Amino acid sequence: MTAATILAGRLRSARTRRALDLALCLLPSVVVGAALAWRLWGVSAALSLAAVLCAALAAFVWSKARRLDEAWLARRLNATRSDMDDSADLLFASGEDLNGLQRLQQARLRERIETANGPELGPGWSARRLLVSALAALLGLIAIGLWPRAQSGARDLEALSPAPQVAALPGQPRLIEQGLRIDPPAYTHMPPRSEPTLEGRVPENARLRWNLRFEPQPSAAELVFHDGQRLALARQGDGRWSAERVLAKPALYRIVAAGAPDAQTRRLYRLDVTVDRVPQLRVLEPDRGLSLMSAGQRNWPLEFEASDDYGLAANAQLRITLAQGSGENITFREQRLSLRGTGTATAKRYAQRLDLASLGFASGDDLIVQLSVDDNRSPKPQTAQSPSLILRWPADLGSEATGLDGMVKTTLPAYFRSQRQIIIDAEALIAQRRKLDEARFIERSDAIGVDQRLLRLRYGQFLGEESEGAPQLPTNDRDEPEPHDEHTAADKGQGQSANASAPDEHDEHTHTPKPAAPTFGEEGSVLEQFGHTHDHAEAATLLDPDTRKLLKAALDEMWQSELHLRQGHPQQALPYAHKALGFIKKVQQATRIYLARVGPELPPIDESRRLSGERAGLARRGEMLAAARAADPLLESLWRELEQSTRASKPTPIDYTGLQRWLREHESRVADPLAFAAAFDALRNEPECLRCRAELRRLLWPLLTRPPASVQRRGQGDAVDRRYFEALQQEARR
């Protein structure tokens, strides 16, 4: 055997080993890809993908093996055999290009190749790479085997299930197969699924696809919903009837096919909707809404926790408002920070430490923060806001005034607006109208309206109005009437005569601080130390009629100002705000009248008419009674009709149109609107069904207005009582 033949065989062996080594390393990946295609798309798709991957693998392996050429073989011979004298490249050179010495060396090398067997020249096997590839493929196959069936392809989801058989005449279309495909919104990250019964609970705004098959085929088919909407079914090429709709609220529907039997047409299907909830936000730190800055504090740690049913947005917005100044000279500076939470997609925590020095926080300021979090709902995310957290830098105690004025100043919060400040803010907002978008303009106008509401509730306390949950805080109007300021002004304006004339009455209004030091910031302690009886509703009569009339007029103007501000029309609210300020100034100049707390003075009783039986001058008691009116006359009449029809042999007709209209207008009052609609539909299909009428009456009962309490008729008593009353009547006849 010649040296050329031996070298060619060695080169083929090396190429074969390289190709087999690469093929064994990459073949497990081909198996995993084919298994995944089989799980997702079926056997045919798996075989097609396997063929493509094998062809690509063969081409790749062949290209890698072709890199082993004669130059590589010469290098391997020089590296493995010392008898080649580092001249193995002469074995592949042409004799015409060599000199005499090179031809002599070439002959010696060929003789050595032919007579001596050298070591194996092919590359070694990649045992470690083969082991890693096999283990990775095994793990991939296990994962594919455990993959839930809900991730199956569209072909499985479109599979139809047999429909319940109904009695039908020959030639009437019957529903023989049915299927409902549910595609949840993408932001929910929920897999699509199918419901064989055409019913179920679906996520809000999910896309539904109905697939039905009739035998024989009808000329037309549609879905009729309980609210009157109709969805036409389209016939496909394979004989199926399909339709699609995005479902935003629960619904009842029936399948109406031309010529179908009544039992099939009256069959109701129910679809419930899982509403996407608003994110839940909770404050972890600080543990109170109002915090006082401690000595040496340089930062303010904040921590929030948020959760959502489908997922939260990546970032949250922290709004920081710095309130500086006092009285009418209050300035607000606002900035926003973007916080990135830590945790899972549905539950995150947000932490931030605010540097007080960089924010410009100084003595007497208030720092107000509020976190807002969005969920991943698309296209319009839902937002949740945390309660406002306030960090207060208390004023220097040494600079406080003494007496009642000093005590009032210490309880004035800088963030509470005055009527003059509301006017200033509204005018500033109108001036910035062109620079703000519509949503931002309405939001700022609504915020001013909230301040107007709080101020109205504060002044309304002096007329005995309820606070509607408003905070019991004094206003920031130093030039406007406060109960303490009016009291002091009245005393100063009238001199000492008022005090001298009614020393007892004035003693009732004397303010004496409690000896025990209250906790700063607690509402109960502040009212206990600085409370005034004029602030209570029961003491509203301490204002004279003229002052009450002015204050009532101011409140009416505040109502109108608040109305337009909350609606986003500050230009329409300004006239009412100015009128309210004018009335308040008039109230400031009014005098206070002090009245003693006395009981009611009733007219004396005429003893001469006692037990005389004279009824002259007494009002007729029959005129004092009035018939009660039902809150919902339609429900009352329907209840009576259903009650009478259950007893009568021939049921009375029902006002279906009016009941449907009432259900659409008052759907929020009904606990289960779909059950109400189903009972109503069953009664309409079978008017003589007593069980259907009883079911509708059962659903109507919680909706009826409870009658008010009435005077119970006195009992007749026992035998002794009756003999006594009879004796009185006999004596009266004599």
pLDDT at position 53 is 87
Instruction: Tell me the C-alpha distance between 179 and 211, whole Å.
Output: 5
Among 660, 623, 658, residue whose Cα is nearest residue 637: 658
Q: What is the pLDDT of residues 72-83, one digit of tens each?
A: 777 777 777 766
Instruction: Tell me the C-alpha distance between 398 and 407, whole Å.
Output: 13
Q: In degrees rounded to 5, what are phi and psi of residue 298?
A: -110, -20
pLDDT at 488 over 50: no
Is-contact 181 208, C-beta < 8 A?
yes
Binning pLDDT at 50, 70 and 90, where does residue 589 land? low
Is-contact 661 680, C-beta < 8 A?
no
Q: What is the pLDDT of residues 187-238, one digit of tens each?
A: 998 999 888 888 889 999 999 999 998 988 898 999 999 888 899 999 888 8
Instruction: Tell me the C-alpha distance between 107 and 188, whole Å.
Output: 79
Among 37-46, 106-115, 465-474, 669-678, name the one with the lowest average pLDDT: 465-474
Residue range 312-327: mean pLDDT, rounded: 88
Locate all alpha helices (DSSP H) within 231-368, ordered by sequence.
Answer: 262-265, 356-359
pLDDT at position 697 is 81
Residue range 465-476: mean pLDDT, rounded: 45
pLDDT at 690 over 80: no
pLDDT at position 624 is 55
Instruction: Tell me the C-alpha distance between 388 and 447, whole Å.
Output: 14
Binning pLDDT at 50, 70 and 90, where does residue 2 land? confident
Contacts of 264 (CB under 8 A, 6+ apart): 166, 168, 174, 175, 255, 257
Is-contact 458 473, C-beta < 8 A?
yes
Q: What is the pLDDT of residues 127-176, one digit of tens each?
A: 888 888 888 888 888 888 777 654 444 444 467 888 787 777 888 888 88
Average pLDDT score over the chain? 76
Sign of CA pseudo-dihedral 531, 532, 534, 536: positive
Residue holding tokens 């569209």? 154
pLDDT at position 282 is 93
Give the β-pairing of 206-215 and 241-247.
Answer: antiparallel
Among 11, 20, 10, residue whose Cα is nearest residue 62: 20
Q: What is the dihedral of CA 667, 672, 676, 682, to 10 degrees?
A: 140
pLDDT at position 677 is 79
Phi-psi region of 298 (alpha: psi -120 to 50; beta: other; left: phi over 0): alpha
Q: What is the pLDDT of residues 540-577, one digit of tens each?
A: 455 667 778 888 888 999 999 999 999 999 999 999 99
pLDDT at position 401 is 43
Q: What is the pLDDT of residues 264-297, one digit of tens each?
A: 888 889 999 999 999 999 999 998 899 998 888 9
Is-contact 300 281, C-beta < 8 A?
no
Instruction: Tell me the C-alpha distance between 570 and 425, whole Å.
Output: 10
Question: In this structure, which long-range contacts are made by residues 655-662, counting pairs with CB atoms below 8 Å and at least 24 apart in sequence?
Answer: 656/680, 656/684, 658/634, 659/634, 662/632, 662/634, 662/635
DSSP 131-164: HHHHHHHHHHHHHHHTS-GGG--HHHHT--EEPP
Is-contact 310 288, C-beta < 8 A?
no
H or E, element range at 384: strand 383-385
Choose from 408-412, 414-418, 428-432, 719-723 the range with maximum mean pLDDT.
428-432
Binning pLDDT at 50, 70 and 90, where does residue 300 land? very high
Instruction: Tell me the C-alpha distance between 227 and 677, whole Å.
Output: 9
pLDDT at 304 over 80: yes
Contacts of 84 (CB under 8 A, 6+ apart): 77, 78, 109, 112
pLDDT at 489 over 60: no
Residue 194 to residues 150, 159, 183, 205, 268, Cα–Cα distance (Å): 9, 8, 9, 16, 19
Name 269's bridge partners.
Answer: 253
pLDDT at 474 over 50: no
Is-contact 217 240, C-beta < 8 A?
no
DSSP secondary structure code for residue 370 in this structure: E
Q: Which residue has the higher pLDDT, 531 or 299?
A: 299
Residue range 449-455: mean pLDDT, rounded: 89
Among 87-96, 306-315, 429-438, 718-727, name the one with the lowest average pLDDT: 87-96
Among 351-360, 434-443, 686-695, name the one with the lowest average pLDDT: 686-695
Name 480's bridge partners.
Answer: none
Is-contact 491 507, C-beta < 8 A?
no
Residue 471 to residues 454, 463, 481, 597, Cα–Cα distance (Å): 8, 17, 18, 28
pLDDT at position 373 is 95
Residue range 304-309: mean pLDDT, rounded: 94
Locate all alpha helices (DSSP H) within 66-187, ordered by sequence.
Answer: 70-80, 100-115, 127-145, 154-157
Residue holding tokens 């009418």? 328
The tokens describing 433, both together, are 């109208």
Q: Secondary structure of 316-346 in the HEC alphabet?
A: EEEEEEEEEEECCEEEEEEEEEEEECEECCC
The tokens describing 542, both together, are 């301490």
Is-contact 580 558, C-beta < 8 A?
yes
pLDDT at position 271 is 92
The tokens describing 397, both together, are 């105690």
Instruction: Tell me the C-alpha distance between 572 and 18, whole Å.
Output: 87
pLDDT at position 462 is 72
Count of CB atoms situated within 10 Å of the CB of 195: 18
Instruction: Tell me the C-alpha distance between 452 and 561, whole Å.
Output: 8
Count of CB atoms situated within 10 Å of the CB of 560: 17
The tokens describing 644, both together, are 């009478």
Q: What is the pLDDT of residues 606-634, one digit of tens each?
A: 777 777 777 666 655 555 556 656 667 77
Is-contact 480 593, C-beta < 8 A?
no
Largest CA distance in the chain: 173
pLDDT at position 631 is 66
pLDDT at 460 over 50: yes
Is-contact 695 642, C-beta < 8 A?
no
Residue range 230-252: mean pLDDT, rounded: 90
pLDDT at position 702 is 78
pLDDT at 597 over 60: no
Q: Burial code of 309-320, b = ≥16 C-beta within 10 A, e = fewer? A: ebbbbeebbbbb
Is-contact 589 479, C-beta < 8 A?
no
Whether omega before 123 lies within 30 degrees of 0, making that bond cis, reads no
Q: Provide the CA 124 distance to its chain's centre, in angstroms.
A: 63
Among 98-102, 618-622, 648-652, name the one with the lowest average pLDDT: 618-622
